[in-house]
Every structure is written in structure tokens, then in C-alpha cells.
Amino acid sequence: MKYIDLRSDTVTLPTKKMREAMANAEVGDDVYGDDPTVNKLEALAAKMVNKEAAMFVASGTMGNQLAIMTHTRRGDEILTGEHNHIVVHEVGALAVLSQTMVRTISHENDFIYPEDIRKNVRSNDIHEPKTTLLSMENALSNGLVIPLDILRANYLTAKKLNLNVHLDGARLFNAATSLGCLASDLASCTDSVMFCLSKGLCAPIGSILAGDKAFIDKARKNRKLLGGGMRQAGILAAAGIIALQEMTLRLKEDHDNAKYLGKILLETGLVELDLSRIQINMVFFRFKQSDFPHERFRAYLLQNGVKINGSDDEYRFVTHNDIDRDDIVKTVKLIQKFQ
Ligand SMILES: Cc1ncc(COP(=O)(O)O)c(C=O)c1O
């Protein structure tokens, strides 16, 4: 059975063109810097975010953690949002790998504002840890996008306080598409940025960490320390090049599909859903019925070929390259038929 898979954009399959490019990729030993396809991907990635250098890494988590490891020293404190991926979904790696502390900022929308940075940065008191890094996320995993002026104000505030600034841009190109700006505009508010080539961009594996040359040189050594030096990685980078050159240009289609899905879900009258919060490819909603049979509902959708994620409290449907309007209509009709 071909499933309609709304669990995440991480489920996207590489396109036919990606598979062909992978099969034909020119490769070499990347630990020696000899892989021409990896070199091409890294140069392209650096250019797209207007940074001096970029490095191909195995995953978004690895890119974020390498950024933390490279920016900080043991015992340093990081300022970040309480629900940000680096805190909640990276297995405590910032403590395990970099031995850093974290001070989280809480806001309803998970935004961070300049006053949060000023308020939470530690003083020079002999007793306190040293705050050295601000880590932001955009797009946020709650589906919202932080506007460019807030990111810029945060960056300027952090720099005045001598902090480095990292951006977890797993969905950087979704954020840029939503804001109608360039990925490089968002990256200009950071010292380092991570973005994923998999997820909505459909590459099978891989993310990019970008920053200035000295930072990336140091991060490259840290990547080796973690066992992340890959050899003929051009096979994967070949798909990454197509992800950046072509798949970044089609994300609006996913965003429009998400808005359409939100609209017709709302029209069923069965759910609570805020259309203004559909800013990228994610639709969050709750069922109105207080005793809604969630477990039976999820099993019913699965039996009928629809895979979903979400807790009883809130469902999240994610649109992507392998979801079209017919899939969306079919899913909503199934929801309407559920009893
Ligand atoms: C916001 C955010 N950051 C980082 C990551 C980590 O990416 P990966 O799964 O490639 O480690 C994800 C993954 O979903 C994410 O949503």
C-alpha cells in the first residue's frame, strides 16, 4: 500500500533526479578533502547563506552539537528557548559532548526577544557560569517563523554582550520562503547556522553547518573527533546539491498545501485550529470532542493508509514533496467519515 505519510517532512524520499545524481557522483576521500562533489556542495551551501565556509554533516543534530562544541568551553552556559530542539530532542548532548549548561527562555510562541537575552545573560560575578552562546531556532518546530527584525535585534543584543549566536535552521529555507526573504538574510543574524538537506528538501541524509572559516576549520576537527569524518560522501552530497538548487524553490507549494489542509480541516467543524499559525508546512489542531477516541482514530487512519503523529492533546500534520492535494482531500474525507 502507498501510504499518505503526514508524520513529518523527514519521511520524504529522494527524487528520481537525486538518485541519478547519486549514482553518477564523482567521489573521493572527503577526510583528505578529495571529494569534488562534497566540495561543490559545501561551496554552494556557504554561498547560499553568505558565510565564508560550510561543512557537510550527517544530521541536523550533529550540526547543532558541533556548533555548540566549537563555540563553547566546558561549564559555559547557553541561552536558548525552552522547547528548542537542542534542549528537548538532542538527548542531552550539549551536556554530554560539550559539558555545557543551558538557561532556557520561555514564551508562549517560543520566540526569543532582546530583553530575554539581556535579562538572562550571567553577570561577571565570580559565582556564576559564563554565558557564551545564544542559540535560536527558525523555523520553530511549533510551525511558527520568527520575523527577521526580531532575529536581527537578538543578534545585535547578543553581540553587544559578547555572545556567539547559533541558529538551528533545520527548516531555514521554509522560514525564508515564509518570510519572503533569502536564507542569507536569516543567516546574517548569526555566527553559525545549521540547515537540513533532508526533511522538506528531500535529500536522503545530511545537513550543513556554516560559519566563518576559522569556525568551520575547528568544527571540522570536532566532526572527526565524533567519528563524523566521511569518506566517499559525494554520493550523498550529490543529492544535497539538488536539494539546495531545486528543492528550496518548491517549498511554497508545501506551505500552500498546509494552508489548504488547515482550511478544509477547519470546515469539517470537528477541530480547533488557528489558520494564522500555519506559516510553514505544519498544521497543528485539536479535536473539539472531549472524549474523542484518539487511539481508535489513529488506528483507523493507519488501516486506511494514512500515517500520522501527534498526541491526544494536539495533532501535527506535515505536508511535503510526497503529499499532493488529492492526498489532503482523501485524508480529510477519512476524518469526516470516522465514527
Ligand atoms: C528544529 C530541528 N532542529 C534539528 C533537528 C535535527 O535534525 P536530525 O533529525 O537530522 O538530527 C530537527 C529534526 O527534526 C528539527 O526539527
For the chain, what is the largest distance between any 2 Cα atoms, rounded to a whole number of angstroms? Answer: 64
Same domain, 239 and 266: no
Q: Rounded to an integer, what distance in angstroms lies between the CA atom of residue 312 and that of residue 325?
A: 26
pLDDT score for 212: 98
What is the distance in A from the centroid of ligand 1 to the CA of 279? 18
pLDDT for res 311 = 80
Shared domain for 112 and 25, answered yes or no, is yes
Last residue of a domain, one of 248, 276, 303: 248
Q: Are residues 77 and 164 in the same domain?
A: yes
In short, whether 137's Cβ falls inside 6 Å of ligand 1 is: yes
Average pLDDT, stretch 299-317? Answer: 93
For residue 140, give the ligand 1 atom closest to its CA: 1
Name the DSSP letter for residue 181. Answer: S
Are 125 and 212 found together in one domain? yes
Which of 248, 283, 307 is the last residue in one of the domains?
248
- Regarding whether 255 and 152 lie in a shared domain, the answer is no
Sheet of strand 164-169, all strands in order from the earlier edge strand to the far edge: 53-57, 207-211, 192-196, 164-169, 131-137, 77-81, 101-105
- Confidence band for 228, pLDDT divided at 50, 70 and 90: very high
Judge if the beta carbon of residue 141 lies within 6 A of ligand 1.
yes
Residues 242, 262 within the same domain: no
Q: What is the mean pLDDT of residues 166-189?
A: 98
Confidence of residue 310 (pLDDT cuts 50, 70, 90): confident
> What one-character DSSP code corresponds to residue 311?
-
Is 174 close to ligand 1, i.e. is its CB under 6 Å away?
A: no
- 77-126 pLDDT, tens digit per residue, is 999 999 999 999 999 999 999 999 999 999 989 999 999 999 999 999 99
Q: What domain range is 230 assigned to?
A: 14-248
pLDDT band of 313, cuts 50, 70, 90: confident
Q: Select from 216, 248, 280 the last residue of a domain.
A: 248
Domain containing residue 295: CATH number = 3.90.1150.10
CA of 84 to the centre of ligand 1 (A): 10
- Closest C-alpha to ligand 1, atom 15: 170
Using the predicted structure, report yes or no on whether residue 220 has a pLDDT greater than 80: yes
Measured CA to CA in angstroms, residue 159 lies from 75, 164, 190 at distances of 20, 7, 10
For 36-57, what is each residue's pLDDT tens digit?
999 999 999 999 999 999 999 9
pLDDT computed for residue 241 by the predictor: 98
pLDDT at 293 over 80: yes
Nearest residue CA, atom 5 of ligand 1?
60
Q: What is the mean pLDDT of residues 257-281?
A: 98
DSSP code for 270:
S
CA of 60 to the centre of ligand 1 (A): 5
Nine cell digits for residue 105:
527562555
Measure 253 CA to ligand 1 centroid, in angstroms. Answer: 21
Q: What is the pTM of this model?
A: 0.97
- Regarding the beta carbon of 207 and ligand 1, being less than 6 Å apart is answered yes
Regarding the beta carbon of 81 and ligand 1, being less than 6 Å apart is answered: no
Q: Ligand 1 centroid to 333 CA: how many Å?
A: 31
- C-alpha cell belonging to residue 82: 525552552
DSSP string covering 27-44, please?
---GGGT--HHHHHHHHH
Residue 124's CB is within 10 A of a number of other CB atoms, namely 6
Q: What is the pLDDT of residue 339?
A: 83
61 and 166 part of one domain? yes
Confidence at residue 98, expressed as pLDDT on a 0 to 100 scale: 98
Closest C-alpha residue for ligand 1 atom 7: 60
Specify whether 300 is located in the same domain as 235: no
Q: How many domains does the chain have?
A: 2
Which residues, at least 6 apart from 108, have a Cβ–Cβ distance to it below 8 Å?
Answer: none
Over residues 165-185, mean pLDDT = 98
In whole angstroms, what is the distance from residue 17 CA to residue 226 CA? 32
Looking up residue 67, the CATH number of its domain turns out to be 3.40.640.10
Does residue 232 share a domain with residue 258?
A: no
Q: Give yes or no: residues 26 and 101 share one domain.
A: yes
Measure 204 CA to ligand 1 centroid, in angstroms. 14
Gap from CA of 86 to ligand 1 centroid (Å): 9
Please report the pLDDT score of residue 150 as a whole number.
Answer: 98
Same domain (yes/no): 60, 149: yes
Both 69 and 142 in a single domain? Answer: yes
- Write down the mean pLDDT value for the chain: 97
The whole-number pLDDT of residue 105 equals 98
